Copies of this chain bind each other. A is one copy, B any other.
Amino acid sequence: MKLSDSHEDALIQRVTQHLHQRDDVLVGPGDDCAVITQADGSLLLLKTDCVVESVHFLPEADAERVGWKALARVVSDIAAMGGTPTACVITLILRPDTSVEWLDALYSGIQRCATDFELSIVGGETSSAPPLAPNIISVAGTGSLPPQHLVKRSTSQPGDAIFVTGSLGGSIHGKHLDFTPRLEPAQWLVKHHKPSAMMDLSDGLAKDLPRLAQLSQTHYQLDLNSLPLTPSCTTQQALADGEDYELLFTLPPSLASDLQNSWPSHFPPLTQIGHMTTADSPSTPLNGGWEHFSS
């Protein structure tokens, strides 16, 4: 059987189900980041993510923006756990015919993101790729987190209100290279209105919300008319385009209006899009979202 005959989530579950883990692992595979308990009781976040030419960026894309995207994706994941990014290492797998100017621009974008979000670039690796291979940038990042700020995907409850930040859909027209990781809103949330569950939207709401629901053993009802659409996008695009890099989170319904009233005006818009339900109320049918390895 080939990977193209399998679903990505099923593949990940297949390879991660019997993994060796020490007692200090608080959150393993399946959430936005892994979480490891440190000797002093603080939490270490660890995340890896990659961008592949012709999959996550086009060959003609501006290398500076590709560099930004490569690191910003990891910042987004660390934010979605409630954490603060601290350091990252960069792996570059590049064709020998890649220009040094392209590499300079790429690092300029990585550097801009590191400066904006105050994390250190502490190392990396370069490897050559064969002539016809895509250029690849893989980023591994660490974050820190006081234990009381940790928010997982798996702890949503039936009845919780579902929120998203910003607008959804149409990322391919530019946002996927220029998005702002929602670090500040996420840190504000965990301090003031701690979500019951949270994740970042990378593969599209239609793909990511079911993941959160499944891990929480809940279902969901979406009000599809309430989705915050990017201008000129349809509801289906908002559900399925992917690469929104917005926060998706849930909150007990009794706390929802207080959150909405206190949401800072300089943050991206906040929208309630539905609520979590029990198995008695089947989930809103959703289609689409990004699938790796699909034939």
A interface residue numbers (CB < 8 A to B): 1-6, 8, 11-12, 14-16, 18-22, 24-25, 27-31, 33-34, 36, 38-40, 42, 44, 46-50, 52, 54-56, 86-87, 89-91, 93-101, 103-104, 107, 111, 114-115, 118-130, 132-134, 136, 138, 140, 142, 144, 292-295
Q: A44-B44, A89-B48 given as contacts; is B120 within 8 A of A1 (CB)?
A: no
Contacts of A144 in B (CB 8 A): 39
> A39 to B93, alpha carbons, bound, how many Å?
33
User: Which of A34, A125, A295: most chain B Cβ within 10 A?
Assistant: A125
Determine if B89 and A292 form an interchain contact, defined as CB atoms under 8 angstroms apart: no
Contacts of A31 in B (CB 8 A): 123
Determine if A20 and B115 form an interchain contact, defined as CB atoms under 8 angstroms apart: yes
Contacts of A123 in B (CB 8 A): 16, 28-31, 33-34, 46-48
Determine if A21 and B120 form an interchain contact, defined as CB atoms under 8 angstroms apart: yes
A1 CB → nearest B CB, Å: 5
12 chain-A/chain-B pairs, Cβ below 8 angstroms: A2-B96, A12-B124, A15-B104, A16-B123, A24-B86, A29-B121, A47-B89, A48-B89, A50-B93, A55-B127, A127-B292, A128-B293
Determine if A86 and B36 form an interchain contact, defined as CB atoms under 8 angstroms apart: yes
Contacts of A98 in B (CB 8 A): 2-3
Determine if A96 and B18 form an interchain contact, defined as CB atoms under 8 angstroms apart: no
Contacts of A2 in B (CB 8 A): 96-100
> A66 to B273, alpha carbons, bound, how many Å?
45
A226 CB → nearest B CB, Å: 31
Contacts of A11 in B (CB 8 A): 100, 103, 126
A129 CB → nearest B CB, Å: 6
Contacts of A101 in B (CB 8 A): 1
Q: A42-B39, A52-B129, A133-B132 given as contacts; is B121 within 8 A of A20 (CB)?
A: yes
Q: A93-B136, A96-B295, A292-B127 given as contacts; is B19 within 8 A of A121 (CB)?
A: yes
User: Which of A5, A31, A55, A128: most chain B Cβ within 10 A?
Assistant: A128
Determine if B140 and A134 form an interchain contact, defined as CB atoms under 8 angstroms apart: no
Contacts of A14 in B (CB 8 A): 100, 103-104
**Lowest 3 CB-CB distances: which A-B pairs, in order?**
A140-B140, A34-B122, A4-B96
Determine if A50 and B120 form an interchain contact, defined as CB atoms under 8 angstroms apart: no
List 11 other contacts, CB 8 Å, given A20-B111, A24-B86, A96-B294.
A1-B99, A11-B103, A19-B111, A20-B120, A21-B122, A38-B38, A39-B144, A44-B44, A48-B125, A52-B93, A96-B295
